[in-house]
Structure 1
């Protein structure tokens, strides 16, 4: 039974267990399917708003390249984290190879051939899988808008790649790691990583205004990433990522010493201390007050591990090590979850 609406507002039909919404806007017919009536009605409202603002391209003529640019500006920009958006933006090199194809004419075989060419050109499986993820999200949005009947990306199997296995440090290895790290200029950062389980982006974004040395706590409120040659700051990975973390006494002492050392370095640098605008209060900086490049942290980590005689691991493995060490000490999994900022205990 159709849900009757006013002229030009569209119609919602119950089709089996799903709801079909359809509307004619500017002589163009739009249709999409949803699991709930509420989603269908929301879509109809969105279509009308976009049409009123001139944001809807003509479905039969728009190319994939035109649509991707439209999606980046009007869809992805407002629905993903800033650094994810910049990552999507940097992947628009999809356009030179597929951009000329009409959106409604794009076939699964076009995507399969594109992925194959990228792999043969030397692009890693992980990178090609990310290209697929961008296309799947963008084309899924086009399907919801009724610009295409069905996303071709949903019918293509992306290249498989093996995610690196997490490796954790034992208590003895953690002690060796920290001892070897004393010779690194990033020693305070490594101490905090292992003592708090904070993500690299969270540590790089940490400000002194987030640190209460008297109370011995840190407020995790943001993350900082280097993407596409620019610094991108945003919210933590999840809502649970906004949290207060209690510092172990040893880590708090290291941070106090680091505060004094940084103030002395700033005085020595004088006019050469030139922090990025809006990032003047960072806890961890370069010798000129700028944010630390993530690749420099990775290089320092590799050097510390070699010096300690430990197998190589990723920076994120320090986070896993923090959780494992706490669990081995009998700390309640719920407490560990909250320290890490995980949304559920199962992720810990």
Structure 2
């Protein structure tokens, strides 16, 4: 029994036939086997036979397979991407909002009118290189957004490859992590005291800022994790008082400020033992602070969650004209990591901070000592193979 004629290869078409429709109008037609395996007729018209065939060939080259998907090579860049992200529900709303900001302010003004098939690696590369002169941070965020957006186009077969992947690597000057010395901490506490005592219009400043910073120093937690703490997360009466970090604070347009039940990552969920100064501070707050409906350790006067941005802005006001401009809330976290690394090891510091890997802690959080550790006595062992050096050492010791 014969097998019959083999099917046309995907994406190829058969013989083009042209007919005259009326004076000055010709129609060219053929059948193409689309990438879904279905053969379909495609037509095009022109004022001459050659023009009709040329129009049909152009149409065939740019043809996208009819599909249920809304993303094709003819889709305008950025169309539908944010909707897919929100529908997928995998990425946090605050991250999507940041993507949308970069998309609106940076990407769309440059590429908004382009179809996906018109976005080339060279065009993207030149644009990203230009962005570096404006801001390395903006360059990095834009590359992330473009890469994720065009990655979706690849997954939906609108593009064969992601053109962002071949653009130039973003080089960012690496700065050494800087932590606080005891002298710096003394200056921080002095600035906190001065700001709290300062007379200003409105309600008197509370002691929240000093307590928030103390708890950051006591735990190495992120500022959002500190603000998300509830009294139910703290065991002050345990044999070894501790607290459990299991949430963070988020603020989104249209949603307001709320407590997210999971912090930044799975490894961020952790229970840490409390030093004595934090235990004393928390017991004082538990006794003196009014009860609030959300059980927050650091609620607003209205009994709602404090915003991370507001606390960061308050700290910028406190450090103004104090020489502490380099100190951010993350600096307290780096200070904890550095101290634990020096006294114990980087692995313990990573666990305390909620990092998935000690490599992250070493590279971005642990300050290098000003001088290397004093290992002179250890290195002295290397001289034992040199009798002359050993003799000189003995002479120096006698003198």
Give the direction of change, closer, same or farther, for the CA distance of 1:226–1:335 in structure 2 (3 Å limit).
Answer: same
For residues 231 and 37 of structure 2, what CA distance do their matches in structure 1 show? 53
* Equivalent residue, structure 1, for 2:4: none
- CA offset at residue 83 of structure 1? 2.8
For residues 97 and 158 of structure 2, what CA distance do their matches in structure 1 show? 24
| Aligned partner of residue 86 in structure 1, secondary structure | helix
* Equivalent residue, structure 2, for 1:207: 230
The correspondence for 1:166, drawn from 177, 202, 219, is 177
The correspondence for 1:107, drawn from 111, 120, 126, is 120
Give the direction of change, closer, same or farther, for the CA distance of 1:154–1:236 in structure 2 (3 Å limit).
Answer: same
* Equivalent residue, structure 2, for 1:156: 167
For residues 94 and 39 of structure 2, what CA distance do their matches in structure 1 show? 38
- Kept in 2, the 8 Å contact 1:90–1:228? The answer is no
- CA offset at residue 241 of structure 1? 0.7
For residues 299 and 67 of structure 1, what CA distance do their matches in structure 2 show? 35
Give the direction of change, closer, same or farther, for the CA distance of 1:91–1:234 in structure 2 (3 Å limit).
Answer: farther
For residues 227 and 71 of structure 2, what CA distance do their matches in structure 1 show? 44
Give the direction of change, closer, same or farther, for the CA distance of 1:296–1:179 in structure 2 (3 Å limit).
Answer: same
- Rg larger in structure: 2
Give the direction of change, closer, same or farther, for the CA distance of 1:143–1:342 in structure 2 (3 Å limit).
Answer: same
Give the direction of change, closer, same or farther, for the CA distance of 1:117–1:307 in structure 2 (3 Å limit).
Answer: closer
For residues 244 and 64 of structure 1, what CA distance do their matches in structure 2 show? 45
* Equivalent residue, structure 1, for 2:330: 316
Deviations 1:64-84 (A, max 9, x none): 13242454344xx43334432
Counting only pairs closer than 5 Å after superposition, residues 1-348 of structure 1 correspond to structure 2 as 24=36, 54=68, 56-74=69-87, 77-93=88-104, 94-112=107-125, 114-115=127-128, 124-157=135-168, 160-162=171-173, 165-182=176-193, 183=196, 185-215=208-238, 216-228=241-253, 230-231=256-257, 233=260, 235-263=262-290, 280-305=294-319, 310=324, 312-328=326-342, 330-348=343-361
For residues 228 and 97 of structure 1, what CA distance do their matches in structure 2 show? 26
Give the direction of change, closer, same or farther, for the CA distance of 1:113–1:247 in structure 2 (3 Å limit).
Answer: same
For residues 63 and 310 of structure 1, what CA distance do their matches in structure 2 show? 47
Q: Which stretch of the first structure deviates more once superposed, 180-189 or 198-207?
A: 180-189
Q: Any gaps of 5 or more consecutive residues in structure 2?
A: 1-9, 11-33, 41-66, 197-206, 362-399
Deviations 1:84-120 (A, max 9, x none): 2332233331335423311122122443455477678
**What is the aligned residue count?**
285
* Equivalent residue, structure 2, for 1:34: none
Please provide the CA RMSD for this pair: 3.3
For residues 37 and 246 of structure 2, what CA distance do their matches in structure 1 show? 43
Query: TM (normalized to structure 2)?
Result: 0.62
For residues 346 and 243 of structure 2, what CA distance do their matches in structure 1 show? 20
RCO higher in 1 or 2 (8 Å CA, sep ≥ 6)? 1
- CA offset at residue 324 of structure 1? 1.2
For residues 338 and 254 of structure 1, what CA distance do their matches in structure 2 show? 24
Q: Which stretch of the first structure deviates more once superposed, 145-154 or 230-239?
A: 230-239
- CA offset at residue 306 of structure 1? 5.1
Q: Any gaps of 5 or more consecutive residues in structure 1?
A: 1-9, 11-21, 29-50, 267-274
Query: TM (normalized to structure 1)?
Result: 0.70
| Aligned partner of residue 146 in structure 1, secondary structure | coil
Give the direction of change, closer, same or farther, for the CA distance of 1:173–1:214 in structure 2 (3 Å limit).
Answer: same
For residues 294 and 69 of structure 1, what CA distance do their matches in structure 2 show? 25
| Aligned partner of residue 66 in structure 1, secondary structure | coil
For residues 315 and 346 of structure 2, what CA distance do their matches in structure 1 show? 28
Give the direction of change, closer, same or farther, for the CA distance of 1:73–1:227 in structure 2 (3 Å limit).
Answer: closer
Give the direction of change, closer, same or farther, for the CA distance of 1:27–1:285 in structure 2 (3 Å limit).
Answer: farther
